[in-house]
Amino acid sequence: MAMFNDFNDDVWDEHQWEAHLNEIEKQTTHLRKFIAPDPLNSTPRWLTLLRESQDELDAVDAFIREELEFNDPYFDEEDDYYTEWEEDDDIDESFPEEWNTEESDLEEEDFDAGEEWKALSDEFARTENGSIEMLDIYDDARSLSALILQWAETLNPEHINEDCNNFVGRILKIGAKIAGGYSFGFDLEFLGGNIAYTKKALYYANDGLTILQKHLKEAPFLTTKQYFSFHQQLFELRNNIGIYIQELREEFNMGFE
- The answer on pLDDT for 194 being more than 90 is yes
Q: What is the mean pLDDT of the chain?
A: 80
State residue 120's pLDDT score. Answer: 53
Q: Indicate the pLDDT class of residue 256, thresholds 50, 70 and 90.
A: confident
DSSP assignment of 46-97, as one string? HHHHHHHSSSHHHHHHHHHHHHHHHSS-S--TTSHHHHHHHHHHHHHHHS-H
Average pLDDT over residues 58-83: 69
**pLDDT value for 35:** 56
Which pLDDT score, from 0 to 100, does residue 109 have? 53
| Cα–Cα distance measured from residue 223 to residue 139, given in angstroms and rounded to the nearest whole number | 25
Decide: 213 and 231 in contact? Cβ < 8 Å: yes
Q: CA-based angle 169:56:70, to the nearest 5?
A: 50
| pLDDT score recorded for residue 99 | 36
* pLDDT > 50? residue 106: no
pLDDT at position 172: 98
| DSSP state letters, 231-244 | HHHHHHHHHHHHHH
Nearest CA-CA partner of 173 in 44, 57, 64: 64
Task: Give CA torsion, residues 28, 29, 30, 31, to 10 deg.
Answer: 50
pLDDT of residue 69: 86
User: Which residues, 6 or more positions from 76, have their beta carbon under 8 angstroms from its beta carbon?
Assistant: 1, 2, 3, 82
Does residue 160 surpass a pLDDT of 50? Answer: yes
Per the document, the length of the chain is 257
**3-class state of residue 115 by DSSP:** coil
Query: Measured between alpha carbons, how far apart are the two ends of the chain, in Å?
Result: 28
Spatial contact of 64 and 176, defined as CB atoms under 8 Å apart: yes
How far apart, in whole angstroms, are the C-alpha atoms of residue 114 and residue 253?
A: 31
Confidence at residue 192, expressed as pLDDT on a 0 to 100 scale: 96
pLDDT at 95: 36
Percent of the chain with pLDDT over 70: 71
Pick the residue with more confidence: 206 or 42? 206
pTM equals: 0.77
**Is residue 5 pLDDT above 80, yes or no?**
no
Phi-psi domain of 223 (left: phi exceeds 0; alpha: psi -120 through 50; beta: other): beta
Answer yes or no: are the C-beta atoms of 104 and 95 closer than 8 Å. no
Please give the Cα distance from 65 to 72 (Å, whole number): 9
Q: What mean pLDDT is predicted for residues 12-36? A: 80
Helix (H, G, I), strand (E, B) or coil at 128: coil
pLDDT in tens, 178-191: 999 999 999 999 99
Residue 112 · residue 33 · CB < 8 Å: no
Per-residue pLDDT averaged across 159-168, rounded? 94
